Structures are given as structure tokens and as C-alpha cells.
Amino acid sequence: MAENTLLEKVLSLEGKFKSIQDQLSDPGVMSDMKKYVQLNKDYKELEPIIAKGHEYEKLLDNLQSAKDILLNEKDDELREMAREEISELEPKVPALEQEIKLLLIPADPDDGKNAIVEIRGGT
């Protein structure tokens, strides 16, 4: 059930991502540079999350297909191929879930700001 809520979260962000994409392609937005820069920043922030979400969705679909083949197929060779695919795909699921969870953690708003660092020797 946890992966379904994770997938739902990513898919809910996909609507926002498409909305930002549409706004970025609108010539009226390009005239307002502040808004354009903010939309571009949001787009770049959401892009890796959406990409991993699609990868995760595809992985779950492939895993489910392999399990269906294993249950319903009578040909031993196809069943063996499905077993191999399942054993190959199952370890990837938790790693991908962890990557998505890390991507979903909101970035610190101060990350994009400049900083001055003073380095002193001997004091």
C-alpha cells in the first residue's frame, strides 16, 4: 500500500508539472521575467521527481506483468523467464522508492541564495 500512496503523490505532482509546462510555453509569461524565472525553477525542481515516478510506475507494471505470467502461463520456459524477471525487478523497487522519497523532501528555501564564507587561518 505504501508504494501506491507514493505513486499517487508523484502523479498528483504531475498535474502541477504539466501546468507549469503549459505556462512556460505561453508567450505572455515570458514578458514577466520574475514569473518566468520562478516557473522555470519549479519546473527544474519537479522534473527529476516526475522522471523517477514514471520509472517507478513502469517498474511496478513490469513486475505485475511478470507475476501474472507466472500465475497464468502453462509454458515452463515462459514461467522461468518470468521468475528471472521478478527476481531481477523486486530488488529495484525499494531502492527506487527511497530515491523518490528523497526527491520528495522539500528543498531548503535558502539553498538558492548566496552565502559569504570567511576562512581564517590560525584563529
Give me the chain's average pLDDT, please.
88
Angle at 60 between CA 57 and CA 65, to 5 degrees: 125
pLDDT (0 to 100) of residue 123:
64
pLDDT (0 to 100) of residue 1:
40
pLDDT (0 to 100) of residue 52:
93
10-39 mean pLDDT: 90
What pLDDT, in 10s, does the model give residues 65-102?
A: 999 998 888 888 988 999 999 999 999 999 999 999 99
18-27 mean pLDDT: 91
Domain residue ranges of the chain, discontinuous segments joined by +: 2-103
What own/partner pairs with CB < 8 Å and gap ≥ 24 does 96-100 have? Answer: 96/52, 96/55, 96/56, 96/59, 97/2, 97/3, 97/6, 97/56, 99/52, 100/6, 100/10, 100/49, 100/52, 100/53, 100/56
pTM of the model: 0.77
